[in-house]
Amino acid sequence: MARFVNIALGQLGPIQRSDTRAEVVLRLCQLMREAHALGADLIVYPELALTTFFPRWYIEDAAEINSFFETAMPNAATQPLFDLARQLGVGFCLGYAELAQENGEQVRYNTSILVDKQARILAKYHKVHVPGHTEHEPWRRFQHLEKRYFRPGRHFGVTQAFGGVFGMALCNDRRWAETYRVMGLQGVEMVLIGYNTPVHNAPAPQHDDLSLFHNRLSMQAGAYQNGTWVAGVAKAGIEEGVDSIGGSCLIAPSGEIVAACITKADEVAIARCDLDFCAIYKKTTFNFDLHRQPAAYGLIVERKGETLAADGSPLVANKAPDSSS
Ligand code: CDT
């Protein structure tokens, strides 16, 4: 039996600091209604979809920081979204800031959840690649303090859901080949990614004009090289004076874009995704079992950064041809 899943991109326009959770949840519900009318099985929302992107501010007061976090999911503010999901029979993937309790300690994560058509939370993911900086850097036009506010997650898991193998990642994760490959090695067929990407990248302003190109480049490569669908969904537009890219898109295992948003506002785009279309890539060009050479990839897990030997020579040198042969 063919395995089709209708995936909706639930792009959000900006959320200002004064916007309440209730107002945002109303917008999420409206997007879900539109997605349902278009035949969606699942709607994917952005990273940190319940509030403004607060890591742009240096905040010292713990209570103020915690005001952007959820201590339970669902909670009073998000319950209407879960109720609507159950009523319409539409699953969703939602990003939010999570204040967790671990061994009696409070831990802050950048989290996403996968929720099924009965509104049950099937899986939770903690963002692994937490970008930005830890301390206040006044030279920047705005801060990117994710490293201050979030502890990194520790793994990329996958979940059997919606008739296939689903994975999640968040924003900066999409730029890293390892994100997709670790899920690819677990047979992932659909990777759901929410993001908030400011157009301006303070340490590398030369990249500003390339931000939409890099968005597509990363996700299209991840899809193709692992024979998986990828759904990338933005929170877009000018939030508290900071412009973020849109560019939400749905990518086939061929690397081709099959649906995309065209605004920087609340918008739904949808496509029918054939999960069996992954196999033509997973069984041929990217047949991992047949073609991967893990013995040659040791440095990837042994080392974090670029390293040379103490004498400056490469760790793995390509030998010069033997002059006698
Ligand atoms: N949210 C997030 O991860 N944003 C980053 C911005 C650049 S890093 C300062 C991203 O990779 O899109």
Counting atoms of ligand 1 from 1, which one is nearest the CA of 197?
A: 12
Best mutation site among 51, 109, 195, 217 for ligand 1, i.e. most ligand atoms within 8 A of its Cβ?
195
CB 130 within 8 A of CB 154: no
- Contacts (Cβ under 8 Å, ≥6 apart) of 134: 145, 147, 148
Nearest-atom index, ligand 1, CA of 203: 9
Does pLDDT of 38 surpass 90?
yes
pLDDT at 325: 55
Is 324's pLDDT higher than 80? no
Q: What is the DSSP-derived secondary structure letter of residue 317?
A: P
Strands 121-126 and 105-115: antiparallel
Structural domains in the chain, sorted by start:
4-297 (3.60.110.10)
117/320: higher pLDDT: 117
Would residue 127 show up in a list of annotated catalytic residues for this protein?
yes
At 257-315, the pLDDT tens digits run 999 999 999 999 999 999 999 999 999 999 999 999 999 999 999 999 998 888 888 88
Ligand 1: which of 12, 172, 200 to mutate, judged by most atoms within 8 Å of the beta carbon?
Answer: 172
* pLDDT exceeds 70 at position 323: no
Compute the distance from residue 179 Cα to the ligand 1 centre, in Å: 15
Pocket probe for ligand 1: among 48, 56, 196, 207, the residue whose CB has the most ligand atoms within 8 Å is 196
From the list 70, 93, 98, 127, the catalytic residue is 127
Alpha-helix runs per DSSP H in 132-271 = 146-149, 177-184, 211-226
Q: Tell me: pLDDT of 320 over 90.
A: no
Average pLDDT of the segment spanning 176-182: 98
Render pLDDT for 135-152 as a digit per residue (tens, 0 to 9). Answer: 999 999 999 999 999 999
Q: Compute the distance from residue 106 Cα to the ligand 1 centre, in Å.
A: 24
Mean pLDDT in residue range 16-28:
98
Measure the CA angle with vertex 125, ends 294 and 103; round to 5°.
105
Query: Average of pLDDT values for 229-241?
Result: 98
- In this prediction, residues 206-233 reach a mean pLDDT of 98
What residues does ligand 1 touch, defined as CB less than 6 Å away?
47, 131-132, 144, 171-172, 175, 195-197, 201
pLDDT at site 319: 85
**pLDDT top residue among 325 and 158:** 158
pTM summary value: 0.97
| 137 classed as catalytic | no
**Ligand 1 atom with least separation from CA of 110:** 1
For residue 132, what pLDDT is reported? 98
In the residue annotation, 171 being an active-site residue is answered as: yes
Cα radius of gyration rounded to whole Å, the chain: 21
Mean pLDDT value across residues 58-84: 98
